[in-house]
Amino acid sequence: MVKTINVGNSTLEVAQISLGCMRIAELSAKEADVHIHSALEAGIDFFDHADIYAAGKAEEVFGEVVASSPGMRDKLMIQTKCGIRQGFFDFSKEHIVSSVENSLKRLKTDYVDVLLLHRPDTLMEPEEVAEAFDVLEQKGMVKHFGVSNLNPLQIELLKKNVKQPLLFNQLQLSIMVSGMIDSGFNVNMTNSASVVHDGGILEYSRLHDMTIQPWSPFQYGFFEGVFLGNDKFPELNRVIDRLADEKGVADTAIAIAWLLRHPAKMQPIVGTTNTKRLLDIAKASDITLSREEWYEIYRAAGNILP
């Protein structure tokens, strides 16, 4: 059963692992129903959406499943995102509010538990975002707020006007995409790993009680492919497979356990539409990698400690 974590210093308690619903529209109605109910039975009751996933169809499919099961809405948490439009980003008050209104219609619910701003909009006016958040909160349409893919100064700029706590930041992070970790090891050095590309978002998140939601936790590069079982990474897979065998779990569980081991108390987003794979991943919640095992995996990914 997947454990829960407290989000920052809030009273909000969420599943340690979240199911990403970007590809759920690829499933039939029956398959989607089985997948969602299986997630709930495994303790994964936090579901991540975005208005752009399958052009809104992902939210529609999910909404149909929830609507067909009386009482189900009260047993789960729904997160959605907004701000990406065709060819540009949009954090205007009008777009944020209308996007949530449309997501609620597709999801067949009166509220979402969490709303994230999806990608940084350099034309963002914090005053407008604050107004949008106030409207959504006052009308009971959104319970909690956060961001996605924003750096510390962008978050601070938002906080200049937004009064609601920003509880989450969804960021790309995996064993093979570990820049926010790498730079912390290579302080005061001149190698490529020492470059801080994200403004120190890992440490910032811990200091400001923001929960990092790693997306694409099995990918290497920017959607270049999955590193598990990939011949490009023989040493990494040798170590992961050995640990998986020792602990009696799948390699996917080890990859997620590596993220869960970090004291930042992260909440990985796993986007699988394969129910068996999802249940295999859920077992990561029962595993606590030792410090030695964590670092062995990190080195096997090709990282060199200074």
Question: How many angstroms separate the first and last alpha carbons of the chain?
Answer: 38
**Among 228, 298, 237, which residue's Cα sits nearest to residue 262?**
298
Cβ atoms 207, 159 nearer than 8 A: no
Q: Give the whole-angstrom CA distance, residue 195 versus residue 191.
A: 8
**Among 279, 290, 302, 276, which residue's Cα sits nearest to residue 243?**
290
E strand intervals along 142-227: 142-148, 166-172, 211-215, 219-220, 225-226
Q: Give the whole-angstrom CA distance, residue 29 versus residue 85.
A: 27
The amino acid sitting at 170 is Q
**Among 274, 205, 282, 284, which residue's Cα sits nearest to residue 243?**
284
**Among 257, 279, 216, 222, which residue's Cα sits nearest to residue 23?**
216
Would residue 53 show up in a list of annotated catalytic residues for this protein?
yes
Cβ contacts of 53 within 8 Å, gap of 6 or more: 21, 22, 23, 24, 25, 59
- Which one of the listed residues 53, 204, 220, 298 is annotated catalytic? 53
Q: What tokens were used for 195?
A: 């470059």
Catalytic residues: 53
